[in-house]
Amino acid sequence: MCGIVGYTGKSEAIAVLLGGLERLEYRGYDSAGIAIIENGKVVVEKKVGKIRELVRKLWGMPLKGTTGIGHTRWATHGEPSEENAHPHTDEKGEFAVVHNGIIENYIELRKELESKGISLKSDTDTEVIAHLVALNYKGDLLEAVLKTVKKLKGAFAFAVITKHEPGRIVGVKEGSPLVIGIGEGENFLASDIPAILPYTRKVIPLSDGEVVDVTPEGINIYDFEGNPLTKDFMLVQWDIVSAEKGGFKHFMLKEIFEQPRSISDTISGFISQESEIFINLKDYRRIIIIACGTSYHAGLVGKIWIEKYAGVPVEVAYASEFRSGHYPIDENDLVIAISQSGETADTKFAIQGVKEKGASVLSIVNVLGSSIARESDFTLYTHAGPEIGVAATKTFTAQLVALYMLAVYGLEEKEELYERLINIRPKVESILEKAKEIEDIALKYVESKNFLYLGRYLSYPIALEGALKLKEISYIHAEGYPAGEMKHGPIALIDSKMPVVFVAPKDKVYDKILANVEEVLARKGIVISVGTEGDKVLKEKSRDFIGVPEIEEDLTPILTTIPLQLIAYYIANKLGLDVDQPRNLAKTVTVE
Ligand code: M6R
């Protein structure tokens, strides 16, 4: 979940590192640090808090050096503090390490180091790497790292520099992401592409079990045995402007407003990839969708579409739970893994498990070349572009688009169904034009301490998603529930202070959900509804009503989710919260 960046070349490393860390801050943001080789010494500077705190600390303290590594942290082992912030060094301060992921056997390694008289300064699992590399160093950093890696267990990526070999960075990937950026007379290394995108579009995503030796003159990749590997670079299609705020106050708001484009791009991306899909859903006995968080909610909608159009039974499982279960699974099953980042540890490990049992894996991923994409038999890319806000918005609607197209692509009438989807763009735009109206509604509920989100059928996952959006960025308790289940318990929560958000477009369960609205009104609950434009009945029953354009029932989730994203955003913004980087969260969850 942490962010890593490294630079070696002719320019001052500090600017590249700090800029890279700012672009990586969404990965973790409780402390940050850099290490630069300056006049034959490893100079380390760290600060608790966001990157801007580190920048302030370094103000007027120009570090001179053309090789360095940087890190922004999301704490796993050890509280956020300067001691625990990266980079970590060996006792003499000759080697510095930045690391993302977890070293599972670090306690054992700490004891081993302590028994050799080495005293460790932090509570982290990372520090052991710095000491081990120093102990293993016999004049060649690559060799020392290769020797060290054999002792480490877990899922990790790290980068090391040493004063003994200025100009050299050695990076390792085993379970956490690491990409190499290829420049001219300079080279880069980072946990994510945006960190290095202002400098190069030529990237090589490393695979697990690979080590890279980076110097200004070139890069060399090896396996853990030290055998050289040949890998081609990929050209990144999006530019850094797409990863910047573009006049919006927050990335989240910008990303919500990008949905007309991201939906269209995902539709055309699917069509251009369609001929390569060798998987026919109908060939499988069962489909299991595995995902986490928002991607799981997309999976719940996908289940309904796939069962309807492909006629194959679908189960949807949280990746973390799936891994602990005992699913009988074999080559007759297809697993669909959904992950925006393509790096979520729970999802990644779940698909590794199912592949061992012979099931095929199709993934729906937004990040090109990510681990889940590489480990799948087939990957459908959503074309949402980089999503920086921690709350998933445009990637969710892009996942819905990909799932819908996947569900219908085997049908004779697919062109007609695609056409309906293509026509959704102006409808999405018209919802965004109502942003001010939605903001005014949202602001009425800023003081509320609890929210209930209810929906049925295709709108139930959207209710779950609306509640997740609100709680993760506003810290207000919100619960999503199937509206029909309300009477089995949650109805007890309803009183005159409880806002209940109904997702109730005109669909086959509309009459039933109207009855649930009545049940809430009878208990003096506050009804806020997202329904079909022109629905006077629902509007009259609601304290506040947000209409979305009329559309085929199947496509309603893509529209009804947008007002819920905006409600969450406007409430969190009014509360003065850090919308893009909510507390305790990280964009890419690479820990289990
Ligand atoms: O990258 P993934 O789609 O695998 O991420 C899954 C969840 O971590 C993610 O959706 C998370 O719930 C978001 N913060 C939701 O907004």
Report the share of the chain in percent with pLDDT over 90.
77
**CA of 294, closest atom in ligand 1:** 10
Please count the CA atoms within 13 angstroms of the CA of 27 that sit on its side-chain side: 31
- CB contact at 8 A, 562 and 570: no
Where in the chain are the domains?
A: 3-244, 248-423, 431-582
Judged by DSSP in three states, 157 sits in strand
- Residue with the bigger pLDDT between 564 and 387: it is 564
Q: What is the arithmetic mean of pLDDT over 443-471?
A: 97
**CA of 399, closest atom in ligand 1:** 3
Q: What is the arithmetic mean of pLDDT over 192-213?
A: 93
Query: What pLDDT score does 56 carry?
Result: 85
Question: How far is the centre of ligand 1, averaged over its atoms, from the C-alpha of 393 (Å)?
Answer: 10
Please state, in angstroms and rounded to a whole number, the distance separating the CA atoms of residues 82 and 186: 30
Q: Any idea which residue has 């509320």 for tokens?
A: 448
Locate the DSSP E strands across 311-374. Answer: 314-318, 333-339, 360-365
Please count the CA atoms within 13 angstroms of the CA of 419 that sit on its side-chain side: 4
Whether domain 431-582 has CATH 3.40.50.10490: the reply is: yes
- Residue with the bigger pLDDT between 526 and 587: it is 526
Query: What pLDDT score does 239 carry?
Result: 67
Bridge partners of 345? Answer: none
Question: How far is the centre of ligand 1, averaged over its atoms, from the C-alpha of 58 (Å)?
Answer: 33
Give the Cα-Cα-Cα angle 323, 328, 330 (nearest 5 degrees).
100
The residues near 117 (Cβ < 8 Å, ≥ 6 apart) are none
Confidence of residue 29 (pLDDT cuts 50, 70, 90): confident
User: Which candidate, 318, 266, 323, places its Cα nearest to that of 297?
Assistant: 318
Confidence of residue 277 (pLDDT cuts 50, 70, 90): confident
User: pLDDT of 175-191, one tens digit each?
Assistant: 888 999 999 999 999 99
Handedness of CA 440, 445, 446, 450 (dihedral sign): negative
The radius of gyration of the chain from alpha carbons, rounded to an integer in Å, stands at: 25
Tokens (6 digits) for 382: 């959503």
| Topology classification of domain 3-244 | Glutamine Phosphoribosylpyrophosphate, subunit 1, domain 1 (3.60.20)
Residues in the chain, total = 592
**CA of 589, closest atom in ligand 1:** 8
**Pocket (CB within 6 angstroms of ligand 1):** 292-295, 339-341, 344, 347, 390-392, 468, 472, 585, 589
Query: What pLDDT score does 60 carry?
Result: 75
Active site residue 2: yes
Query: What pLDDT score does 176 carry?
Result: 87
Q: What is the CATH number of domain 248-423?
A: 3.40.50.10490
Best mutation site among 74, 255, 344 for ligand 1 pocket (most ligand atoms within 8 Å of CB): 344
Please state, in angstroms and rounded to a whole number, the distance separating the CA atoms of residues 87 and 32: 8
Whether the per-residue pLDDT at 44 is higher than 80: the answer is yes
Sheet of 234-235, strand order: 41-48, 31-38, 67-73, 3-8, 187-190, 179-182, 202-205, 234-235
Q: What is the arithmetic mean of pLDDT over 496-503?
A: 96
Please state, in angstroms and rounded to a whole number, the distance separating the CA atoms of residues 182 and 541: 60
Confidence of residue 397 (pLDDT cuts 50, 70, 90): very high
Confidence of residue 199 (pLDDT cuts 50, 70, 90): very high
- Residue with the bigger pLDDT between 473 and 73: it is 473
- Cis peptide bond prior to 205, omega within 30° of 0: no
**CA of 372, closest atom in ligand 1:** 4
Q: Do domains 3-244 and 431-582 have the same CATH topology?
A: no
Catalytic residue among 2, 254, 427, 469: 2
Query: What pLDDT score does 108 carry?
Result: 95
User: pLDDT of 410-454, one tens digit each?
Assistant: 899 999 999 999 999 999 999 999 999 999 999 999 999 999 999
Please state, in angstroms and rounded to a whole number, the distance separating the CA atoms of residues 66 and 379: 38
Query: What pLDDT score does 276 carry?
Result: 81
- The mean pLDDT value of the chain amounts to 93
Confidence of residue 242 (pLDDT cuts 50, 70, 90): low
Tokens (6 digits) for 522: 């009878």
- CA distances in angstroms from 336 to 228, 230, 239, 309, 402, listed in the order given: 34, 30, 29, 16, 12
Bridge partners of 259? Answer: none
Using a 10 angstrom Cβ sphere, with 0-12 exposed, 13-18 middle and 19 or more buried, the burial of residue 230 is: exposed
Please state, in angstroms and rounded to a whole number, the distance separating the CA atoms of residues 257 and 435: 10
Query: What pLDDT score does 1 carry?
Result: 66
Whether the per-residue pLDDT at 241 is higher than 70: the answer is no
Please state, in angstroms and rounded to a whole number, the distance separating the CA atoms of residues 1 and 319: 17
Q: What is the pTM of this model?
A: 0.75
Q: What is the arithmetic mean of pLDDT over 113-140?
A: 95
Question: How far is the centre of ligand 1, averaged over its atoms, from the C-alpha of 471 (Å)?
Answer: 13
Please state, in angstroms and rounded to a whole number, the distance separating the CA atoms of residues 505 and 530: 7
Query: What pLDDT score does 587 carry?
Result: 78
Please state, in angstroms and rounded to a whole number, the distance separating the CA atoms of residues 327 and 334: 13
Whether the per-residue pLDDT at 309 is higher than 70: the answer is yes
Confidence of residue 496 (pLDDT cuts 50, 70, 90): very high
Other C-beta atoms lying within 10 Å of the C-beta of residue 583: 12
Compute CA 196 distance to the chain's CA centroid, rounded to the nearest angstrom.
18
Whether the per-residue pLDDT at 237 is higher than 80: the answer is no
Active site residue 587: yes
Catalytic residue among 46, 47, 469, 587: 587
Bridge partners of 202? Answer: 235
User: Which candidate, 191, 53, 33, 47, places its Cα nearest to that of 97?
Assistant: 33
User: pLDDT of 534-576, one tens digit each?
Assistant: 999 999 999 999 999 999 999 999 999 999 999 999 999 999 9
The residues near 115 (Cβ < 8 Å, ≥ 6 apart) are none
Locate the DSSP E strands across 224-359. Answer: 228-229, 234-235, 286-291, 314-318, 333-339
Nearest CA, atom 9, ligand 1: 293
Judged by DSSP in three states, 349 sits in helix
Whether the per-residue pLDDT at 348 is higher than 70: the answer is yes
Locate the DSSP E strands across 57-147. Answer: 67-73, 88-89, 95-103
**Helix, strand, coil content of the chain in percent (nearest 5):** 40, 25, 35
The residues near 1 (Cβ < 8 Å, ≥ 6 apart) are 27, 28, 74, 76, 100, 586, 588, 589, 590, 591
Whether the per-residue pLDDT at 285 is higher than 90: the answer is yes
User: pLDDT of 482-493, one tens digit each?
Assistant: 999 988 988 899
- CB contact at 8 A, 347 and 337: yes
